[in-house]
Amino acid sequence: MTELKNVELELSRFRARLLFAGAMVLVCFGLIFARLAYLQVIRYDELSTRAENNRIAVVPIVPNRGLILDRNGVVLANNYSAYTLELTPSKIDDLDATIDELAQVVQISSYDRRRFKRLMDESKSFESLPIRTRLSDEEVARFSVQRYRFTGVDIKARLFRNYPLGEVGAHVIGYIGRINQAEKEKIDESEDAANYRGTDYIGKLGIEQSYERELHGITGFEEVETSAGGRAVRRLRSSPATPGNTVMLSIDIKLQALVEQLYGARRGALVAIDPKSGEVLAFVSKPTFDPNLFVEGIDVENWRSLNESPDKPLLNRALRGTYPPGSTFKPFMAIAALNSGKRGPNEAVLDNGIFMFGNHRFRSHGDGGLGMVDMHRSIVKSSNVYYYSLANEMGVDLMYSQLAPFGFGQITGIDIDGEVRGVLPSTEWKRKAYKKPEQQRWYAGETISLGIGQGYNNFTMLQVSHALATLASGGERHVPHLVREIRDVVTHERRPVGSEPVEPLDLKPEHVDVIKRAMYAVTQEGTSTRVFLGAKYQSGGKTGTAQAVGIRQNEKYNASKMAEYLRDHSLYVAFAPVDDPKIALAVIVENAGFGAQAAAPIARRVLDYWLTGTYPSEEDIIATQRGETGAPVGAPRVASEVPLPLPVAAVPSAGGTALPVSNPDPAASSPATPVPASQVAPVSTPPEAVR
């Protein structure tokens, strides 16, 4: 039989399939239109911004770092521009092969390769990174001819930091270095993150670190239209960078250089302060170092030489070196006695050469002693017995309460980082300093040696000079500061940097007069008479000799039989003029013996420079370096006519001519004592870097 088709049923099925297919098409188109509406309407702003960002690259413009000047306008830190060979890793397929080929055109050392690898680890792949810095003109020419062979390789002009005077004032000025990972994370979390885009360097030490915000400037930007391959097509708009401000120090760099020269190969520190303002006039730590070595990464040999030297040139002794003050502490003990009423100026003590406390013998001036000694004579002749007995009468806690306001054992608040507190002992201090109960207890015998600046007493020369400035000014106090003013490079406004007013100490003028007259007598009939012969001003001073190590009761000190690093330190404190002090200083020469032999001659020449404008003769400088002078010898020179000493090293260069950098601060274009370009010695790039 023949089967007949059900046409109606098949048409019905066909229509159903057609409707289903049509519905599915409509649903698909609906989804497409919905997605289109979502992208074009709801996410329009976001996607439009993304597209614009893909088309436009924002390139940061790093600002010129601000200058650092001394109080007379001498440039202590500036910038110069030099050519660098840079690679963009994201544009290079085989990086190692490219570097090998480049090495056939331009010299690339193993140090350069290691530094580049380190920079890659710390940077984003699309950033341009230097493989060679400070290219010579010949190297630039050689690469320019071969440039077509190297995709992603280019020559750029970058700014480099320079310290024209080399080692002079290095601990004050500090240096900059590449931003490390910890610093980068700290910047990213700060409000200055945007301002450091494109910045590779940051202040690491001294003024460079403490005044980083002033010196850095404000980063600019360029908006550049790019092709699909990331190549710049045209510049759309730009905002120029604002150079960093100029920082003017209170330091007189010629005085700083003179003191460093007077030390010679010896170790020590000197801090000179203006008692009327708290301005630091000289801030010396010897030995010093060349900060130019650190800018691009110091080589292993130089780092080992600095870091492993027993002289510790990297230690800022003026800020972080603590020493027993020795007999320079006695004037402060005397003012404490007067303030507390423990002893009057006319009360006398028998100095027979020893002070017995129980069975312990505290030594003084040999077996003979000084006889009857009042306060004036105790300072002039530096009686130990007088101050042993005074310390015993006062007790450690009264001494602490009287002397802490002068700044001993306290942070002075000077405007560079890293200051240490030192130790002005008290019973509370000892309880906190030691863990064992028997060590925490204060013994009466420990108080005796504190009176002559020994025992637990340990202070920085910054603290001692600050305390002396307070005493010499009759109790007037200022926070010491190294920066005198900030100069805005845009508005040319000069903003003075002064310390916050500090409540003066309540010192009676008649008490201060007793101490100042005694310290003046030290220079006329006391321990520093020979040093201040012929001075054209009246100064007050006090010598000090501080033990580096203790010696037994039955032993006698003999420097010739001791290793140099175990010998006594030589100290001196001074202020002048006596009636109206304009300078107060503290100086220590490590392991150099009596205060009048090594420290006092340096102080005399500082006072001569500051008050009379005289500079010692070459003959005198050499003799002072050897510790063989008292009063100056030879014909003194006019300080303003003596040039600054030549730097050990200055603008590093590979032999080519560096690109000139315009001075962003017109006021700094004519320093008081400029350094001639002919005196700038080139330094080659170090072979290896140490971080």
Which carries the bigger pLDDT value, residue 386 or residue 160?
386
pLDDT classification of 537: cutoffs 50, 70, 90: very high
- Separation of alpha carbons 93 and 109, rounded Å: 22
pLDDT at 657 (0 to 100):
39
pLDDT at 1 (0 to 100):
52
pLDDT at 641 (0 to 100):
93
Contact, 247 vs 668, CB < 8 A?
no
pLDDT at 54 (0 to 100):
61
DSSP 653: -
pLDDT classification of 555: cutoffs 50, 70, 90: low
Three-state SS string over 437-455 comes to HHHHCCCCHHHHHHHHCCC
pLDDT at 61 (0 to 100):
81
What average pLDDT does the segment 406-425 reach?
95
Which carries the bigger pLDDT value, residue 296 or residue 154?
154
pLDDT classification of 415: cutoffs 50, 70, 90: very high
| Residue type at position 622 | I
**Least confident among 55-69, 105-119, 594-608, 674-688:** 674-688
Q: What is the pLDDT of residues 631-659, one digit of tens each?
A: 999 999 999 999 987 554 444 433 333 34
Contact, 469 vs 412, CB < 8 A?
no
What average pLDDT does the segment 541-568 reach?
68
- Separation of alpha carbons 468 and 167, rounded Å: 28
Which carries the bigger pLDDT value, residue 480 or residue 50?
480
46 pLDDT more than 90? no
Q: What is the pLDDT of residues 520-535, one digit of tens each?
A: 999 999 999 999 999 9
- Separation of alpha carbons 290 and 296, rounded Å: 13
Active site residue 327: yes
Contact, 594 vs 543, CB < 8 A?
yes
674 pLDDT more than 60? no
Contact, 618 vs 634, CB < 8 A?
yes
Q: How many CB atoms lie within 10 A of CB 442?
A: 18
DSSP 150: -
pLDDT at 136 (0 to 100):
85
What average pLDDT does the segment 361-368 reach?
72
200 pLDDT more than 90? no
Spatial neighbors of 308 by CB under 8 A, at least 6 apart, are none
Catalytic-role residue among 250, 285, 327, 378: 327
pLDDT classification of 691: cutoffs 50, 70, 90: very low
Which carries the bigger pLDDT value, residue 313 or residue 681?
313
Where does 243-342 have alpha helices with state H?
A: 253-263, 300-307, 317-320, 330-340
pLDDT at 684 (0 to 100):
31
179 pLDDT more than 90? no
Most confident range (mean pLDDT) of 59-68, 221-230, 504-513 is: 504-513
pLDDT at 640 (0 to 100):
92
DSSP per-residue string spanning 615-648: E--HHHHHHHHTT--SS--S--EEGGGSPPPPPS
What average pLDDT does the segment 259-272 reach?
96
H or E segment and range at residue 385: helix 384-394
What average pLDDT does the segment 419-428 reach?
96
Q: What is the pLDDT of residues 231-253, one digit of tens each?
A: 556 666 778 889 999 999 999 99
Q: Among 527, 519, 544, which Cα is nearest to 326's?
A: 544
Q: How many CB atoms lie within 10 A of CB 371?
A: 14
pLDDT at 151 (0 to 100):
85
Q: What b/e sequence results for 528-543 when a residue is b if at least 16 CB atoms lie within 10 Å of its CB, and e otherwise?
A: bbebbeebeeebbbbb
CA-to-CA dists, residue 55 to 61, 183, 198, 680, angstroms: 19, 32, 20, 46
Q: What b/e sequence results for 453-472 when a residue is b if at least 16 CB atoms lie within 10 Å of its CB, and e otherwise?
A: bbbbbbbbbbbbbbbbbbbb
pLDDT at 89 (0 to 100):
83
417 pLDDT more than 80? yes
Spatial neighbors of 481 by CB under 8 A, at least 6 apart, are 250, 278, 279, 280, 414, 415, 497, 498, 499
- For the chain, the average pLDDT equals 85
